């Protein structure tokens, strides 16, 4: 749990730092940016997203509760800083809480797709049967889902 939470803190801190160096983002720019971040999260932080996919059912059962709460509080603060940076970068497109929450949605989309992507294998072994309807192309499908979600979300909740 500590590894998962600390890595997410580092990830959010790096995104916050990188955003501060970028020009302002329009709504379309923000959608493109988070769609790109979704791909980069999957490609560059695969251990992190796989740990996150097993957080509830496996990791929490063996974790120290007080240490986990302390780490979650630090993660929450990093998430709030990232959300606030996005408020600045997008000229108040959404509020800090809305931006911060979008990263939970992103994580849920990726984790759900990872869990469902394993239907064509068993215990890390590819099954000899063909299930084309069960196959998931993780990166393009995660990007597609986050793009669809953001487009509708911004229509409903944008402050502009």
What is the model's pLDDT at position 3? 87
Report pTM.
0.89
CB neighbour burial string for 27-39, b if at least 16 within 10 angstroms, e if fewer: beebbebbbebbe
What is the model's pLDDT at position 108? 93
What is the model's pLDDT at position 2? 86
What is the model's pLDDT at position 152? 97
CATH number for the 2-157 domain, one of 1.10.357.10, 1.10.3720.10, 3.10.129.10, 2.30.30.240? 1.10.357.10
What is the model's pLDDT at position 105? 96
CB neighbour burial string for 77-96, b if at least 16 within 10 angstroms, e if fewer: ebbbbbbbbbbebbeebbeb
> Mean pLDDT in runs of 10 for the chain (160 residues)?
91 97 97 97 91 84 89 96 98 97 95 83 78 86 98 90
What is the model's pLDDT at position 160? 65
**Residues whose CB falls within 8 Å of the CB of residue 146, separated by 6 or more in sequence, listed in order:** 34, 35, 38, 105, 106, 109
**Residues whose CB falls within 8 Å of the CB of residue 2, separated by 6 or more in sequence, listed in order:** 63, 67, 68, 71
| Tokens read off for 147 | 């793009």
């Amino acid at each position: 749990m500590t590894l998962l939470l600390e890595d997410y803190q580092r990830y959010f801190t790096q995104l916050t730092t990188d955003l501060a160096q970028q020009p302002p983002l329009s709504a379309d720019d923000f959608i493109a940016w988070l769609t790109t971040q979704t791909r980069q999260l999957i490609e560059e932080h695969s251990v992190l997203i796989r740990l996150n996919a097993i957080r509830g059912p496996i990791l929490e059962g063996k974790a120290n509760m007080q240490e986990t709460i302390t780490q979650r509080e630090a993660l929450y603060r990093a998430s709030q800083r990232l959300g606030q940076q996005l408020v600045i970068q997008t000229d108040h497109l959404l509020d800090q809480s809305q931006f911060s929450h979008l990263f939970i949605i992103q994580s849920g989309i990726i984790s759900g797709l990872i869990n469902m992507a394993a239907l064509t294998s068993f215990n890390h072994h590819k099954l000899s049967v063909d299930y084309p309807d069960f196959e998931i192309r993780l990166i393009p499908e995660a990007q597609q889902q986050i793009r669809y979600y953001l487009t509708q979300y911004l229509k409903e909740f944008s402050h502009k």
